[in-house]
Amino acid sequence: MHRFRIGRGSRTSRSRYANVVATLALFLALAGGTAYAARHYLIHSIHQIKPSVVRELRGHRGPRGYRGYRGYRGYRGYRGSAGPSGATGATGAAGAVAGFSVVNATAVPFTGTTNTQVIAKALPTGAFVLTGSATIAASSTAATTAFDVTCSVSDSGSTSVYTAEFAGVTNGAGNISRFTLPLTLAVTTTTGSTAKIACTDVSNGGNGYSVSATSASLTAVQTTSNS
């Protein structure tokens, strides 16, 4: 005869319910613990890692690589805008206004005379710088004849005079001595005038020689003023 038990569930049902509750509790515990670890142990900076570990992770520096090829030259840039104007410079010295010159290649003897004109040039009113020269030849029948010559540059509108002198002996080839006297003078005139070069036989030919200006030149450069 069979007996039926009526009342609480069977022992198997209670076992299954306990397993489900335990599994759910474990899941919640794991999930909560993982979230807590994630919040508290997540690495945000390299400073959270031990320095010795960081050095190991970085490793040693590798060998230097080969140098790359030089790149192509870039395009030329645009021209920049003009810069500001510079300051005005100081006023320069006065320059030349005009120039005059003359050359004489004809020999002019002046043996035994004084102040013989060898070249001249007419000039207008103004300030001038005169430059010129006279080439002189002194000759004699002897190789040791002494002589003395002077040449001067002057202007008829000024009292200024510049004189150059040369003394020597006729010991050149053929008993002839040649030399050049350079001359320079600054003058200022108030009217038209004449600039000239004149030469003098200082010894007056007393030693038996002859002298002449074989060539001469004279240049006058006009300026705004002479100081």
What Cα–Cα distance (Å) separates residue 85 from each residue in 7, 11, 78, 82, 210? 115, 109, 21, 9, 67
d(CA 9, CA 28): 28
d(CA 149, CA 203): 8
* Cβ-Cβ contacts under 8 Å for 122 (sequence gap 6 or more): 192, 193, 194
> Domains of the chain: which residue ranges?
11-40, 96-223
- 8 Å CB contact between 153 and 128: no
Residues forming beta bridges with residue 130, ordered by sequence position: 185, 220
N- to C-terminal Cα separation, the chain: 162
d(CA 198, CA 116): 5
Q: Could you tell me the pTM of the whole model? A: 0.58
Closest CA to 217 of 122, 140, 130: 130
Q: What is the pLDDT of residues 52-102, one digit of tens each?
A: 766 766 666 778 888 888 888 888 888 888 889 989 988 877 666 789 999
d(CA 125, CA 202): 33
Q: Does the domain formed by 96-223 have CATH 2.60.120.1340?
A: yes
Q: Report, as an integer, the average pLDDT of 105-111.
A: 93
d(CA 55, CA 51): 6
Say yes or no to pLDDT of 136 above 60: yes
26 is written with which tokens? 């474990």
Return the pLDDT at 119: 97
- 8 Å CB contact between 222 and 98: yes
